[in-house]
Structure 1
Amino acid sequence: MTIQELPFDLYVQILEQLTPLTDSDESIIVLISCLKASTSLRTAASVSRLWEPHYRVRYTICDPAKEQSRKQSTGGDWRLMYLERRRIDLETLDILFKIVTERGDGRLERAREVNAMFSFDAWNALEIAANYPLPETFREPGAPEQRPVPPHAVPIRFWAQMLLGAIARSDAVRTWGELISNDTPQAFELSFACVSSFFVYPPMKVLSQLEELTTLCKAYFIERQIPLDPAEFTSDTGKLRLVCTSICDFLWSCGFEAADGQRFHMLQNRFPHLFLTTHKATIPISLVYVFVCIARKMGVTAAPVDFPTRVLAVVSSPDPDVSEFFVDVFGSRTQAVLTLHDDIPHFLTQAGITATSMLHGISPASSTSMLVRASRNVLASVYNFPAGAVPEVVLHTAFYASLVVNVIFMNNHRYLLNIMKHINWFLLDLLPVLVDSLTPLLNTHLQEQLTTHCKAIMDDEKEAAATSHPRSALAREVKFFVGMVFKHAAPGYVGYIRLGSAEDWIREMGVDTLSRGRHQPFYHALTQSGSSRYVAEDNIRTTCLEPADVRRIFVDAPGAGRYFEDLTQVDGRARFLLSPELNAAYPDDEAFGDQWLKQGED
């Protein structure tokens, strides 16, 4: 039977109805199937514009240089560009799976490989992997039906997040390194956005948010008949001041405001991805950053000023008849515009600044000086922050970002030593971030120090990968196992056994006072809050987890995703199913734990 084909244009119109999807291949599978069908369908499915919406929805992040090269090599054909990005996705996911299933320093080399070959081109595929559906145990009740859970979904999510972080932080370090020789006013927007890269938030998202704010600001101006033409407002002092005060008014109308009281010391209002969204009540430097970025996009010559008591903005004009002035964004509800003659001397005197050193306090600041000041704000905030106010991983990330800024621009070995204290929270950063991106920016002495530290960590990784702990090889009876959920007998915290123990801890904690003293097994545990502890066997009590605690495991203790895949609870006892990494390190504990769960601890 002969099937009559439809007109070419009708095929194209039908294929145009396919919905672009971020994390599903359903629509693309249809297009691919058409490419393998009849000549007419194949020709229709090859039309470039059909692929454009799918490309734009799926691939929101890219390496700009690689994207430009891709457009040139494909002639701007969206189908060919999509297929090239899909090839990168598959290579990235293949490497990610090896990171999940292998142990040792090979992971670090694979992270370096992804970063060097693909950088941000791997972002969208990794972001999808970092959000794979969780096993049912960890889902919120009543959550909508999800896609099937892939094998090893939990450790894949964990390592995908680690790899995303390594890519973003490597890019941030390289961007900051360029400031050493080329610190231009134009670099301010991007270099400050890169602070959020340490929180796995790519700078292009921050830049996009600033563009959206600028568009809204222009609409705000049009509605209020405020001048938008730079040729008009830059040649008139009154109009230029009106534009600047109106930008401040616009920001307040969007929810931005001066943080007061305890809010002023909140860690979250130091980082662009947060002070642009959930923490708009923020500090002067953050408000000035937003003001300067919007003002520049609207044709105002604006720059931050590293003023002693409060970061300000300075505004100038190409017209010599228009004097420069300062904008106090933080204090703009009281007085936005400050003049050099009437206001600044009083501020400087209050800060104890003499006339001879006044110039530094009122000159446009470099991006470097703003980054260093921002990093020190973070360090001061962290030291004064109440314990438990934010997740532990957030504190380590904030420290890490601030220390890296300082080691790049201050070349101080103390900052480098402190970085190494936090690096175990960022497990794939060693080669792509520290060795490949940071080391070339340092002086010879610091390069040698960093290289030595990194080599020691890689040696430890190799040694750990070569080590296995079968229960048959244990010198004494070990009652419990890796993956067990327990409650500590004294402090009462809940934790999850993940490794062995250490002799120095045994001495420090005075465990010889316990009934069996040091002559008992000790376990390395992860607590519900995400911190690591050593626990003596005498202090371990069986327990299970409340549903609310189960659902928060990977929020409060994200490191659990590295070690565990699922959770089983029976009659007041609970154990995690082990990740490939722990299964290889403790080959008998999965079966032992399963038997323990069925029979009870006795």
Structure 2
Amino acid sequence: MAHLALPIEIYEHIFQLLVPSPTEDADVFALAQCAATSSFMRSIATANLVWMAHYQVRYLASNPIKETERIAACNGSYFKLYRMRRLLDRRALDTLQDAIYRKQGRCTTGRLFAYDLGIDVHDVLRTQSVMRWPRNIAKTDEPALDSLTLDWIARPYWAREAMTVITKLEALRLWRKVVVQPQYVSFAEGFAAFSGFRGVSPQQVIKDLNALCKRCESHLRAKGVSLESGLEDYDVVNISNEICLWMREEGFRLAAGVDYHRMENHFLDCVITTHRDTLPLSLVVIFVSLARHLGVEAHPVGFPQHVHVLVRGHVPSTSRFFFPGFPERGEEYIHLDIAKSDERLVLPRSHLISILEGMGVTNSVQQGQLLQPANVRDMCGRAGSNVQHSFHTELEALANPNGPRYSYIRDCVHAAMSAFVMLSTPGTRGATTMLMHMLNYVEDAHRLDWCLMQYEVFPNDVGHHTNDVGAVQVRDQLIHMYELQETNELQAKRDADSMPLAVDGTNVEFHVGTLMRHAKFAYIGVIADWNTKCHQPEQWMREMGVDMLSRGRNQPFYTVFAMDGTVRYVAEENVEVHTLPSDTWGTIRELLMNAKNIEMHFDRAEVGKNGVGKFIMGADLRREFPGDVLLAQKELGELQLFILAKTEQSVVVPPGVTHPTAPWKPPWPVPPWPPIPPPPKPPVSEPVPPLPYPESPWFP
């Protein structure tokens, strides 16, 4: 008996009930399975109306040029667009797998993320960057793991590093544009670049700021404020006052007390969302963006100690009555104090000049320069200086359990240093000196960022000043660091044959990954490295009284990532194994939240049946301490050994731990899909696009 087919509209309605999700694939899988059943179902299950929502909820960021090419290649089909982006996601996850399980080649991995994949894979990396805690220590609102994976610590860390190298490239190119083509970079875009050093795309920050501008416009129009410049009641001072009122209603105020120096106040993504009690400069950025969106000509003024705003427009007599201090002519520049607008909005020019004279600036030319609109380059440089001023205040707050993490402060300082180098005049001594300081930060943590130093920061700083001795030294050091990471193999300190002895025959009692407690000072940490004897300068050993220890300087010394965020160098006689079976997982969580660089060097943490907790080494440590891997296996109990094909190194896996899965594959049958045509080639008359890796005369 033949069955009547349902109307197409019913199928479309059913498919539209599938809930789009940025992370879950169940509904997408159902659609793909339907599309593979028959040509009739395929025509419905691949319709734009069905796939548009799934595409838009998953992919929020994209390269505008590449997205235009993809849309043209797919003829506007969201089904094909979704497939193309998921294939990009697969490449990104495979590359992330390489970063986790291979130490050598991470500089090349950084180039792949920054220049080949770019912002198009930022969304899939964000899904990997969320820490998923073991079920027994996860808080109520945190993602939890039902079964531990081999890289539950390392994967979020390297995903964040991959996101950051992508957004940093976006930021650095914005700052380069500020120098070369400042007329094409807005005031807000220059400031949004700082957020790129925290893994937040400047493109997304500007989108959020534009949404804020539209909300402000809707509010002012609903309130009856005249925003058409041709009308008689158009008043820039009244508009500015209404903008300030709206900002205060939305929570944008001047921070006070210890909150004034918080690092988040310097980053526009935080100011828009969580830190609206902020700095005068950040308030000026918000106000200028709102005013320009409403058609008001507004500029920042880099006034000493207190930045404010300059607006231009017609001032009716009513504003002259409420805001005294204006000259008599009808159109002029007006200085506005945004940070203290609730006390006094308008700043008379005579008042500002008297302040400058009190500072010793009596020359009228210099006064005029300090009262004129500032350019984007100068204001971004000022923002970088403000970040550095907040650095010492935040260091004091590290002792606070609710204070910032060391890695966060480090990234903020790196942003300030990069801004100084990118916005300074190429070849200057100060820029070269700052570049040398930046190498220390890159070497300390930013393992994927070295490609940016090589291709973006260094050429911009040095320019054509090839005779700069300092620049040559920086180049040589950078090349040396690159070669160590890409090619040189580390010598094993303890191999599988010499356990528990080091390769030189010295007995080293503890191994890397051990949770320890200091015998005298009682702080807790995790061992990250060891030497068979003290490897510190003579002066350091004298200051620390190393020779006064019972075993002196010739005993093993351990590098320890301590709970307070410091890195300690501890003699073996002061090391005790931390064994608190009822609190081991809690200790592991506290260490991950507070200690420095754990996520970079360790893949995961485990607790054995005997209550002993261990951090399991990552790729950068396994090659140096293969014997320590087996010692950890012995202490944790009955374990299995898996051989990772990517690393060719033994990895300890306890029962119930998931082995690294195969490279990510789409959850739908690929063969039935017809091949997608490649993006169209540009006409011959158009300029050839640049190579994915910029050429640099300074590097081979």
Q: TM-score, normalised by structure 2?
A: 0.80
Give the Cα separation in 2 of the matches to 1:115 and 1:527.
33
Taking structure 1 as reference, are residues 464 and 519 closer, same or farther at Cα in structure 2, changes over 3 Å only? Answer: farther
- Cα separation, 1, equivalents of 2:100 and 2:215: 44
Q: SS of 1:226's equivalent?
A: coil
Residue 515 of structure 1 pairs with residue 511 of structure 2: no
Corresponding residue for 1:25?
Answer: 25
Instruction: Please point out which of 389, 412, 419 is paired with 1:380.
Output: 389
Relative distance call for 1:143 and 1:128 in structure 2 (3 A) is closer
Q: 1:350 aligns with which of 340, 350, 358?
A: 358
Q: In the TM superposition, what is the alpha-carbon distance from 1:580 to its structure 2 partner?
A: 4.2
Name the aligned partner's letter for residue 352 of structure 2. Answer: I
Q: Which moved more, 1:71-80 or 1:300-309?
A: 71-80
Q: Select the residue among 336, 347, 359 that pairs with 2:345.
A: 336
Residues 310-360 of structure 1: CA deviation (Å, up to 9, x unaligned) = 1111111399942111111012111112243x4332333333322221121
CA distance in 2, matches of 1:487, 1:390: 24
Q: Which one of the candidate residues 446, 454, 471 is aligned to 1:427?
A: 446
Find the counterpart in structure 2 of residue 215 from structure 1: 214
Alpha carbons of 1:553 and 1:140: their partners in 2 closer, same or farther (altered >3 Å)?
farther
Letter in 1 for 2:491: T
Equivalent position to 2:607, from 547, 561, 568: 568
The structure whose RCO (Cα within 8 Å, separation 6+) is larger is 2
CA distance in 2, matches of 1:186, 1:428: 29
Q: AA paired with 2:505?
A: A
Range 545-554 or range 38-47, more displaced: 545-554
Does the 8 Å contact 1:185/1:367 carry over to 2?
no
C-alpha separation between the residues in 1 aligned to 2:488 and 2:569?
18
Query: Which structure 2 residues correspond to residues 125-204 of structure 1 after superposition, within 5 A?
Result: 125-131=124-130, 133-136=132-135, 138-140=137-139, 150-184=149-183, 186-204=185-203
How far is the alpha carbon of 1:597 from its aligned partner? 4.6
* Aligned-pair CA distance for 1:213: 1.8
Cα drift, residue 204 of structure 1: 2.3
d(CA) in 2 for partners of 1:25, 1:149 = 21
CA distance in 1, matches of 2:144, 2:203: 32
- Choose 435-444 or 562-571, whichever is displaced more: 562-571
Residue matched to 2:76: 76
**Alpha-carbon displacement from aligned partner over 1:533-583 (angstroms, at most 9, x marks no partner):** 222211101114635443343332362223131221566642223334433
Aligned position for 1:407: 421
- Give the corresponding residue for 1:457: 481
Shift of residue 442 of structure 1? 1.7
Compared CA separation, residues 52 and 554, structure 1 to 2 (3 A): farther
| SS in structure 2 at match of 1:87 | helix
Q: CA deviation at 1:598?
A: 5.2
Task: Classify the secondary structure of the residue corresponding to 2:569.
Answer: strand
- Counterpart of 1:551 in structure 2 is 589
SS at match of 1:21: coil
One-letter amino acid of the structure 2 residue matched with residue 512 of structure 1: D
Report whether the alignment pairs 1:249 with 2:245. yes
Q: Matches of 1:102 and 1:482 in 2, distance apart?
A: 18
Would the aligned equivalents of 2:132 and 2:143 in 1 still touch at CA under 8 Å? no
Pair 186,241 (structure 1): closer, same or farther in 2 beyond 3 Å: farther
CA contact 1:166–1:429 (8 Å) conserved in 2? yes
Counterpart for residue 108 of structure 1: 107
**Structure 1's 146 and 492: CA in aligned 2 closer, same or farther, altered over 3 A?**
closer
Matched AA of 1:22: P
What 5-or-longer segments of structure 1 have no aligned partner? none
Alignment partner, residue 668 of structure 2: none
CA distance in 2, matches of 1:463, 1:220: 59
Tell me the equivalent position of 1:588: 627
Distance 2:141 2:369 in 1: 59
Q: Distance in 2 between matches of 1:154 and 1:138?
A: 14
Alpha-carbon spacing, 1:172–1:427, altered in 2? closer, same or farther (3 Å): same
* Equivalent residues in 2 for 1:278-317, closer than 5 Å: 278-317=274-313
Q: Tell me the C-alpha RMSD between the 2 structures.
A: 2.6
User: Residue 34 and residue 310 in structure 1: after superposition, are their counterparts in 2 closer, same or farther (change >3 A)?
Assistant: same
Rounded to whole Å, the distance in 2 between the matches of 1:466 and 1:144 is: 36
State the AA in 1 paired with 2:24.
Answer: S
1:264-275 to 2 correspondences below 5 Å: 264-275=260-271
Alpha-carbon contact 1:100-1:581 (below 8 Å) kept = no
Q: Give the TM-score normalised by the residue count of structure 1.
A: 0.92
Q: Is the 8 A contact 1:170 1:432 kept in 2?
A: no
Post-superposition shift, 1:405?
A: 1.1
Aligned counterpart in structure 2 of residue 365 of structure 1, from 365, 370, 374: 374
Corresponding letter in the other structure for 1:251: M
Letter in 2 for 1:159: W
Report the Cα offset of residue 287 of structure 1: 0.6
Deviation at residue 155 of structure 1 after TM alignment = 1.3
Q: Kindly state the Cα deviation for residue 110 of structure 1 after the two structures are TM-superposed.
A: 1.3
1:370 to partner: Cα distance: 0.4
Contact map agreement 2:109 2:448 (CA 8 A) in 1: no
Report the 3-state secondary structure (helix = DSSP H, G, I; strand = E; otherwise coil) of the residue aligned with 2:510: coil
- Of 161-170 and 126-135, more deviation after overlay is shown by 126-135
Aligned residues of 2:271 and 2:278 also touching (Cα < 8 A):
yes
Q: Structure 2 CA distance, aligned partners of 1:154 and 1:182?
A: 42
Q: Does structure 1 residue 538 correspond to structure 2 residue 573?
A: yes
- Is 1:376–1:402's contact at 8 Å kept on the other side of the alignment? yes
The answer to whether the Cα contact below 8 Å between 1:158 and 1:558 also exists between their aligned partners in 2 is: no
Q: Number of paired residues?
A: 594
Matching residue of 2:650: none
Report if aligned partners of 1:139, 1:551 keep a CA contact under 8 Å in 2.
no
**1:67 matched to which residue of 2?**
67
In 1, the alpha carbon distance for the partners of 2:3 and 2:474 equals: 69
Query: Which one-letter code corresponds to 2:374 in the other structure?
Result: A
Question: Residue 39 of structure 1: CA displacement?
Answer: 1.3
Q: Which residue of structure 2 lines up, in the alignment, with residue 416 of structure 1?
A: 435
Task: Tell me: CA distance 1:65–1:339, structure 2 relative to 1, closer, same or farther (3 Å).
Answer: farther
Higher relative helix content: 1
8 Å contact kept, 1:158–1:559? no
CA contact (8 A) 2:301 2:309 kept: yes
Q: 2:508 aligns with which of 474, 478, 494?
A: 478
- State the shift of 1:29 in Å: 0.9
* Deviation at residue 262 of structure 1 after TM alignment: 3.0
User: For residue 258 of structure 1, what is the aligned residue in structure 2?
Assistant: 254
Which amino acid in the other structure matches residue 604 of structure 2?
E
Q: What's the secondary structure of 1:22's corresponding residue?
A: coil
Distance 2:223 2:140 in 1: 48
Q: Distance in 2 between matches of 1:149 and 1:34?
A: 33
For the 8 Å contact 2:377–2:423, the answer to whether it is kept is: yes
